[in-house]
Structure 1
């Protein structure tokens, strides 16, 4: 197969793969992040401690993570057909991709949020902050770099899953690799697809690492919780300032 014949096929397959990965990652972020935070809040010693809720959510996450992706695709065939009207193509593959990515990212988000210093949480609570304020002002900002790193890992995993989905009619680069590279013995085509996947994963990893480093440089030390703690503390020696109203720190936290 010549390059002129490969090019349109690769362009279409690349768009399908990027669409699958983009939609599945967005769903994983919107659903997995709240699940990860909920696992931390409802755990022993958490702000919303509830062992039944924690055990139930943890069991759902563990079950979702334990299923191999191929098995998950087959198990969700009826659900996929109900959601998108078909069980073939990249739209259909997006459904199990998203379902599989949610528990994957939930555990990574849980680990990231658990790393937040408990003293920062106590500082927000001491100022009268509610649970939602603690999450918004302490847990999420302070764990942002780790959350981005976890999201990068999730995107790379979803890219691998999307290629696997192509072997069962999921579309994208996986379908090309199976149809042309494997079934028709087009070795050159297979090599091109492998190189493209490697480049795609490398770009995602580089972008994720750059974002994490940027957040690590600019987020630490100037986060909202540290600013609040400095604001509520005493003025620097030799530069006494007027006393602030007692409501000021609380207003800053709740705002």
Structure 2
């Protein structure tokens, strides 16, 4: 398959690529499930929202901003005790999902909030005038209207997670980043490093292209 790499390294490369997919997929799934409710809460409790509540909105926004502003490699090391509590270990693919998901939740929550802000307020006011409840406005107006923006946010998050997963390899997180560091850098095998970089680029290009395609189709609808 890759003649410039020995068979043993090709097998390791396939395993590492799968680990990267697992890390990115699991972290993104958790981020979407947790980030959307957070974004809806931030949007609803903001000034002018469906249920303005500064006492809740400001502390929540500060926590999300704090997580977002922390460099991922530092965040990963800082929450090692929490990672061990959740995953039972601080190394490996399963353990890497914990900090990846935490970073992605804060990241995607803000992106989702921005997508919700782009919804025309006139549509929301029209729903209110027709007697829709807050929950109805959220799930039947806000989320459907913001869907292209929400999907674009998921795409950006997936692309970012590919980069984060490579950094996770620097501290035993597994995946392509770990393979590139162990063989490409520590064992002076530039062909391994180059192969890892190319695969990561292909991952990013594939995710971005697929995401853009889906956003365009949803926007037309």
Name the TM-score class by shorter chain: over 0.9
The answer to whether the aligner puts 1:154 opposite 2:157 as a matched pair is yes
TM-score where L is the length of structure 1:
0.84
Aligned equivalent of 1:127: 130
Unaligned stretches of 5+ residues in structure 2:
none
Matched, 1:191 2:191: no
**TM-score normalized with structure 2 length:** 0.97
Q: Report the CA distance between 1:154 and its aligned residue.
A: 0.3
Q: Distance in 2 between matches of 1:74 and 1:202?
A: 29
The equivalent position to 1:86 in structure 2, one of 80, 86, 89, is: 89
State the alpha-carbon separation in 2 of the partners of residues 149 and 23 from structure 1: 18
Runs (4 or more) in structure 1 with deviation over 6 Å come to none
Q: RMSD value over aligned CA atoms? A: 0.9
d(CA) in 2 for partners of 1:81, 1:40:
33
SS of the residue corresponding to residue 49 of structure 2 reads coil
One of 65, 68, 82 as aligned partner of 2:68: 65
Q: Is the 8 A contact 2:35 2:106 kept in 1?
A: yes
Shift of 1:38: 1.1
Question: In the alignment, what sits opposite 1:232?
Answer: none
Verify: 1:110 aligned to 2:110, yes or no: no
Deviation of 1:5 after TM superposition, in Å, equals: 2.5
Structure 1 gap ranges (5+): 219-255
Pairs within 5 Å for 1:191-210: 191-210=194-213
| Alignment partner of 1:139 is 2:142 | yes
Query: Residues of 2 paired with 1:25 and 1:140: CA distance?
Result: 19
Larger radius of gyration: 1
Q: 1:11 aligns with which of 14, 22, 43?
A: 14
